[in-house]
Amino acid sequence: MIDKFRHLKPQIKRYLVIGVSVYMLELLIIITAQSFGASSVIAVTLSFWIGIFSSFLLQKFITFGDKRVHHRVLLSQIILYSLLVLFNFGFTLVLTKMLSSTMPVVFIRTLAIAITTIWNYYLYKTHIFNIDNNTVY
């Protein structure tokens, strides 16, 4: 598996390393929240929003090298990212609600992340953080 990782493009490697790091942060938040008595849905909600904020910043600046901070660029990115987040959030909650009686919430969140990772990378690269097709400020 590590040998296959070496052959990936640097951008995909950064995307995956950041993704795994944020995933670990989210798991820690889920476990901590549940240890304080939070329900599965509340624990996933907390981990989701903290993970999304961290991921946006790390993916924008590190993975995709998008250093643009002009308000027009950021506003556009935040709107597109927010729409994707809302879709991913809804997908995650539906999946959690559907599967929480049969599987631990940590596994459900892992499944949701695995599924959303694929479409997120494509949309980040082609629309949200695409510095080749956007005006640079």
- Residue 20: pLDDT above 70? yes
Is 40 a domain residue? yes
* Residue 56, in any domain of the structure: yes
pLDDT at 77 over 90: yes
- Domain membership of residue 5 (yes or no) is no
Contact criterion met (CB below 8 Å) for 10 and 65: no
Mean pLDDT along residues 66-70: 92
In the chain, which ranges are E strands?
A: none
**Total domains in the fold of the chain:** 1
Asked if the structure places residue 4 within a domain, the reply is: no
pLDDT band for 3, please (50, 70, 90 cuts).
Answer: low
d(CA 131, CA 133): 6
Position 77 in a domain: yes
- Distance (Å, whole) CA 92 – CA 108: 8
Structural domain includes residue 136: no
Count of residues for the chain? Answer: 137
Residue 71 has pLDDT above 70, yes or no: yes
At 80-137, the pLDDT tens digits run: 999 998 999 899 999 999 999 999 998 998 899 889 989 999 999 999 998 876 555 4
Q: Whole-number mean pLDDT of the chain?
A: 90
Has residue 137 been placed in a domain? no
pLDDT at 95: 96
Domain of residue 57 covers 10-128
User: What's the pLDDT score for residue 4?
Assistant: 66
Gyration radius (Cα) of the chain, Å: 16
Whether pLDDT at 1 is above 70 = no
| Number of CB atoms found within 10 A of residue 67's CB | 9
DSSP 8-state symbol, 70: -
Amino acid 2: pLDDT: 60
Q: Kindly state whether residue 25 falls inside one of the protein's structural domains.
A: yes
